[in-house]
Amino acid sequence: MSSAVIVDAIRTPIAKASPDQGYFRDVRADDLSASLLQTLVERTGIEPRLIEDVKWGCVQQQGEQGFDIARNAVLIAGLPVEIGGETINRNCASGLCAINNAAMSIMAGCEDVQMAGGV
């Protein structure tokens, strides 16, 4: 069985959560996610074409978030269109579930390189 390792990690910014005064109230989840994907590619120096899938958690998707945030973030980040994206909704464990699913997929030999997280 293959091993899965975390090469780098980054966290989404945290700010006051408020529909009226929240710092990120006007930032779309896929835009916020795309900036993380870009930063991880820059920090790790990975060749983007080697990334096979992005698994991304997002709970309570509403409105524009109702689409596949992972896939949209890949495209907004300017990553290759061949990279797939899967959005996982599992309440408080969405991001952790995405990371777990990516690790399981690598360990099963389905892929070699994935990006995973949540927003």
> Can you tell me the distance from the alpha carbon of 92 to that of 39, in angstroms, rounded to the nearest whole number?
24
Angular region, 69: left φ>0, alpha ψ -120 to 50, beta rest: alpha
Tens of pLDDT along 48-82? Answer: 999 999 999 988 777 766 688 999 999 999 999 99
- This prediction has a pTM of 0.88
- Give the architecture (CATH level 2) of 29-118: 3-Layer(aba) Sandwich (3.40)
Cβ neighbours of residue 24 under 8 Å, at least 6 residues apart?
13, 15, 32
pLDDT exceeds 90 at position 35: yes
84-88 and 53-57 strand pairing: parallel
8 Å CB contact between 27 and 15 = no
- Domain limits of the chain? 29-118
| pLDDT of the residue at 64 | 67
Q: What integer best gives the mean pLDDT of the chain? A: 91
Tens of pLDDT along 95-110? Answer: 999 999 999 999 999 9
